[in-house]
Structure formats: structure tokens, C-alpha cells
Amino acid sequence: MELARRGALLTLSSRKPEELDRLIAELPADGHRALPADLGDDGAAEGLAAEAGEVDVLVANAGISGTGRLDDFSPEEMRLALRVNLEAPMLMARILAPAMVERGSGHLVFIASLSGKAASPRSSVYNATKFGLRGFALGLRTDLARKGVGVSLVSPGFVRDAGMFARSGGSTAGLGTTTPERVAAATARAIQRDRAEVAVAPLRQRAMAHIGLTAPAVAARIQSGPVAGRTTEAIDAGHRGQDGSG
């Protein structure tokens, strides 16, 4: 919605065609289109990027929950989380970036998470995908820095009203939340200003993520406490039984 308000012509994709149609009907102006795809399917990411055609800006936002203890996951569930959260955006960037380089313009935005900076209980698989996405985006930025193509990472904390955390019904234990509108505005700013990374969360969450990044042993002691454990257990319980990507 935010990018459309700023004049962008959007190509939207998700697993749910009906939701895409409703969203397009709410967007300002005409000409937006929907390309339904399930990025958990083999070859779906490459097919979506190819079908999209010439793309000026990629916003890679698909994701599924990876919460739970490691032994709660089947090998298939682990592969699915890795495919949707990490492999799919990498593959789409691989297909779309060369044309951007040839034109000398374009932007790749990867929606990650503060979980890509700081580990948390019952989230080892999710942390792995978001740490990986963060490393990929920042590394790709260095490769494309002198070629006219921007790469940005947008890292939200807990988001209310929409998305995986909101659907889980979990509590932040006083850490606060942000909104989808603030994430969208941060994404637009990242594109406009070619920001390397933007964290979208209340100050306390951003501070804790920084501790996790710079002092992981200290963060691990904090995160192993009962409050963090109850919080992530509630979020994980809410995610179980949901049907996938956001």
C-alpha cells in the first residue's frame, strides 16, 4: 500500500489468490497485478521471478514460522523453512539482479527480522534463516554497490495487526510491538535512501537485539530465563497448526 501511494506499479504474490485480489482492489491507481505462487514448491521462486518480467524493485517478504525446538521439526519442515525464508529470496535476487545491473538501476529489499541479529529460545531454525538472509543481503550489497543497484535489509521486531506474530496470539512480555504501516514506511525509506539496514521496533527490542549481536553470551543468559522462555513458548504454540507463509 505504501509503495502504491508513492506511485509504484505493483506486482503482488502470495499463496492466496483471493487475498491478492482484495488487496489490489484497495490499492490506489490501476495496473497492479497478482501472480499467485507458493514459494515452498520446487522451482516456484525462479518461476515467479521469470514471470514477473522487468522489475525495478524487489521486496522479498515471504516467510513461514520456524519456531520450536530443533527436535520438534521433521526434516521436511526444516527444508520448507529454509526454502521459503532463505533460498527463495536468494534465487529471486539471482534472476532479477543481472537486468538491474545492466540498466544501472534497481533495488533489492529483503524483509528479515531482529531474529537475524539476536538468537532466542525455541527459534533455532527461524534464527538460522534470518541470520542467513541478513548475511546474504549485506554481502550482496557489497557486490552491487558500484553497479547502481541498491540492496537493503528491513528487520522488524514483533509486528501487531498482521503477520506471523499477530496470528500467533503471543505476548511480547512488555517489549512492545510495531505496526505493518511502520514496516512499510521503513521499506520505502530504505529504497529511497539506499539504506543498508533498517530496524523497525521499539527501542527496548532494538537494544536487546544489539546486545545479542555484540555480546551473544550475555544475550544467551538473558534469553534462557523464564520470561523469554514463556514468551517464545506462547508464540510457538500459536504458530503450531498454522498453514504457513505470511
Please identify every residue annotated as catalytic.
126
Decide: helix, strand or coil at residue 94.
Answer: helix
Amino acid identity, residue 151?
V
Q: What is the Cα–Cα distance from 126 to 113, expressed in whole angstroms?
A: 10
Which of 130, 129, 112 has the alpha carbon at shortest distance from 59? 112
Pairing of strands 150-156, 57-60: unpaired
Which of 240, 211, 226, 227 has the alpha carbon at shortest distance from 69? 240
Strands in 50-171 per DSSP E: 57-60, 107-111, 150-156
